[in-house]
Amino acid sequence: MINVYDLEEFAPSFFKIADKSGQLIPFAFNRAQKHVHTQLEEQLIKLGYVRANILKGRQQGISTYISGRYFHKALTLPGTQAFILTHMGDATRSLFAMTKRYNHNLPPGLAPKPDKDNENQLLFNKLNSGYRVGTAGSKEIGRSMTNQLMHLSEYAFYDNHIEIKRGIEQTVADIPGTEKIKESTANGIANAFYLDWQDAKEGKSDYINIFVPWYWQDEYTRSAEGMELTDEEKDWMMLYSQDGLTAKHLAWRRTKLSDFDGDYTQKCKGFSQEYPFTDEEAFINSITDTFITVEPVQRARKAKVESTSALLIGVDPARGGVDKSTIIRRKGRQAYKCDSFQGLDTMQLVGKIKMIIDREHPHKVFIDCIGIGAGVVDRLHEMGYECVVGVNVSRAANNPEHFLNLRAELWNEMRDWFNQDMPVQIPDDPELQKELCGLGYEYNSSGRLVIESKKDAKKRGMNSPDKADALMITFAYGQHAGTSTYQPNYIPESSAGRLI
């Protein structure tokens, strides 16, 4: 006996979908759809409602699943109004055609015939339920509605996020049984989908993030007979084979790269946006060319390195606002323990650094001395900490023929550190990875390297790369800065104690 209220039983029994050849087949969930269904049902049980962001690759069936989920609820839960908003008219028509196919192929007598069936709605008056679709072109669309279910499809590509948030999103009340799902492929970081994803990741909203990797699709494979994996592909197998990645998937990827424009690096970036391994990769690689690529950073997050090199500490003081003062440690090929602090004034930051020096005895403490950092450096020097070095990253580079300024030179030194033959280790921190792999670059008319400024990065929605800059500044004396020989000249404790 089929439980008609259970979508996993109902869909393969009564819903029909078109396969790649156009043939109608029962709607049996694939792995990606099962994963999304499980996550949504768990949240529904826990909270009583659904609020979810879904990031996925191309053609993984997520819109198909959500359309089936909402049409099923409209049929089985009287009084349910569902609204689906897409970014383009073609997408709207395509999604609605899918829902109409569900309805048209239902067995006679299973559900009432719709009282209204036109180009943008199916209404069931006997059930007091309806299923409507629209396109995100009008600022006023849907404002007068009351909905229980809302699907915002390809949300990262909407041009009017503010109006959508203030308008149609407000038609779904925050009450039990309601659902709002924002689903999309990545489209850089200068849009509301990325910001919503980050808020959910940091626990700032009641949304959950659901990521669907491309290699969960069985159809994204081809024969790998005789194929020798590259070092890059071996790294991916090491990271993702337990989650389902196979050599056949990588063989398909090789072929798929030909669909993207540009050189090999650009093709890989295009593939990563449409078919990401991770959410971090999807968002990072969908922006302009980045100076440090994802792969060596991902390896460094998983590596374990022992080092007896001298301890170097990098400090990137906050410049106010949402920026954070960040402190990171590095010993040769091992970077570890990244601490961030928000809202510290100059003397409070001095106290933090003083305690770290007294406890960990670093060889050098490099501090960005632009702005607030100058006062931090001066006070620590007054306290006798000769290991402290102020670094002005905006000054001329040591090699001015190749780099616009010291900042570009140090970022280049850090990239060389990641790309060396020997493994390196960094904290397993997605925020640090996003910052390291988030800045663009160019070469000016004189052929000198220019790293994208913090100001320009913020204009396109990226947060200040505080953690990445703290690591960068540890390279002020190169990858290694000698052994520790300093003895701090402590000022009287009665004077120093007030800073802690």
Separation between Cα atoms, residue 49 and residue 206, nearest integer Å: 10
Tokens of 463: 């947060």
Nearest to 328 by CA among 468, 451, 483, 202: 468
Residue 48 falls in which region: left (phi positive, over 0), alpha (psi -120 to 50) or beta: left
Separation between Cα atoms, residue 214 and residue 256, nearest integer Å: 12
Tokens of 34: 């099962």
The reply to whether 7-212 and 301-499 are identical in fold is: no
Q: What pLDDT is attached to residue 137?
A: 67
Separation between Cα atoms, residue 135 and residue 143, nearest integer Å: 13
pTM, to two decimals: 0.66
Domain limits of the chain? 7-212, 220-283, 301-499
Separation between Cα atoms, residue 25 and residue 296, nearest integer Å: 43
Residue showing tokens 């968002």: 283
Chosen CATH of 301-499 out of 3.90.1150.10, 3.40.470.10, 3.40.980.10, 3.30.420.240: 3.30.420.240
Strand, helix or coil for residue 38: helix
Q: What pLDDT is attached to residue 264?
A: 83
CA 356 to chain centre: 32
Q: What pLDDT is attached to residue 322?
A: 63
Residue 409 burial (CB count, 10 A): 24
Strand, helix or coil for residue 251: helix
CA-CA-CA-CA torsion for 383, 389, 390, 395, nearest 10 degrees? 160
Q: What pLDDT is attached to residue 143?
A: 59
Separation between Cα atoms, residue 426 and residue 300, nearest integer Å: 6
pLDDT tens, the chain, 500 aa long: 889 999 999 999 999 998 878 899 999 999 999 999 999 999 999 999 999 999 999 889 999 999 999 999 999 999 999 999 988 878 888 889 999 999 999 999 899 999 999 988 999 999 999 999 988 766 556 556 789 999 999 998 887 777 788 778 888 889 999 999 999 998 877 678 988 998 898 898 999 999 999 999 999 999 999 999 999 899 999 999 999 999 999 999 999 999 887 778 778 878 888 899 998 888 764 444 678 988 899 899 999 999 999 999 999 998 666 678 999 999 999 999 999 998 888 999 999 999 999 999 999 999 999 888 999 999 999 999 999 999 999 999 999 999 999 999 999 999 999 999 899 999 998 889 888 988 888 888 888 999 988 888 776 667 789 999 999 999 999 877 765 443 444 444 344 333 33
For the domain 7-212, what is the CATH code?
3.40.50.300
- The CA R_g of the chain, rounded to the nearest whole Å, is 27
DSSP assignment letter at 311: E
Residue showing tokens 């069931």: 124
Q: What pLDDT is attached to residue 287?
A: 44
Q: What pLDDT is attached to residue 487?
A: 44
